[in-house]
Amino acid sequence: MNLEISLEDLLKNGSHFGHNKKRWNPKMEKFIYGEKNGTHILDLRKSLPLIENALKFALECSKNKKKFLFVSTKKQHGEIVENIAKETGNYYVNFRWLGGMITNWNTVKNSISTLNNYDNILSSDETVFTKKELSDIEKKKIRLEKTLGGIVEMKSTPDVLFIIDTNREHIAVLEAKKLGIPIIGIVDTNCDPDVIDYPIPANDDGVKSVQFILDSFKKVLINTAEEEPKKDGEKSNE
């Protein structure tokens, strides 16, 4: 499988744009090419091998049936994160990261059970609840779905976290580190790349940048899932 992506594609999608130079993290200095109009510009020649390394890691994880949790609570990335999770058979958080979402998994599982119970009540043809009670249950369901809708089918803590904007999602980073869960993370010029196992120095705000990078990972995860294992005794065509 070809895991290569081009500098031209990264440039075309604005992956080189960093943050205002006043907001930078000195640990990102080695990934910064320079600045323009007060904004740092990332050196995509240094980003590229790190992206390819993260893609190789994702490929191996996918081959071994590992499950990914995609995380971004930025409004502009909500649909992107949801789509890649659903299309690759994984999970997502795109509204709010609850403290303890993976470090206090048993409590979160109880909340998921509550959400499923609300769904069963509302979908039932027979009910003992009044219209007002059903309306209250509907409101509670909607609130829970915003936070837990992307992990309803998740049976245990994920094998890998993919985080967009590791600064904003610092609680998710801390929880993953505590549990020893590897992190793939898009790190902009204001982030700390040292706390991420597979950092991707790139624009973590722009929709086109994030979409392009996640599409690269989506291809890897989908293609791996679609590969049918050879049956015992089946001969190769090679």
Q: Are 92 and 69 in contact (CB under 8 A)?
A: yes
The CATH code of domain 43-102+157-225 reads: 3.40.50.10490
- pLDDT tens-digit map of 178-219: 999 999 999 999 999 999 999 999 999 999 999 999 999 999
Predicted local confidence at residue 123, as pLDDT: 86
Q: Are 204 and 165 in contact (CB under 8 A)?
A: yes
Domain boundaries, the chain: 43-102+157-225, 106-150
* Confidence bin at 226 (pLDDT 50/70/90): low
What is the number of residues in the chain? 238
9 CB contacts (<8 Å, ≥6 apart)?
A: 212
Q: How far lies 111's CA from each of 51, 130, 144, in Å? A: 35, 23, 8
Spatial distance between the Cα atoms of 201 and 17, rounded to a whole number of angstroms: 10
- pLDDT tens-digit map of 28-46: 999 999 999 999 999 999 9
Q: Are 141 and 73 in contact (CB under 8 A)?
A: no
- pLDDT tens-digit map of 7-36: 999 999 999 999 999 999 999 999 999 999
Output the CA angle 53-21-41, nearest 5 degrees: 45
117 CB contacts (<8 Å, ≥6 apart)?
A: none
Q: What is the mean pLDDT of residues 43-56?
A: 96
Predicted local confidence at residue 237, as pLDDT: 44
DSSP H or E stretch at residue 34: strand 32-36
- pLDDT tens-digit map of 100-151: 999 999 999 999 999 999 988 998 877 788 889 999 999 999 999 999 999 9
* Confidence bin at 78 (pLDDT 50/70/90): very high
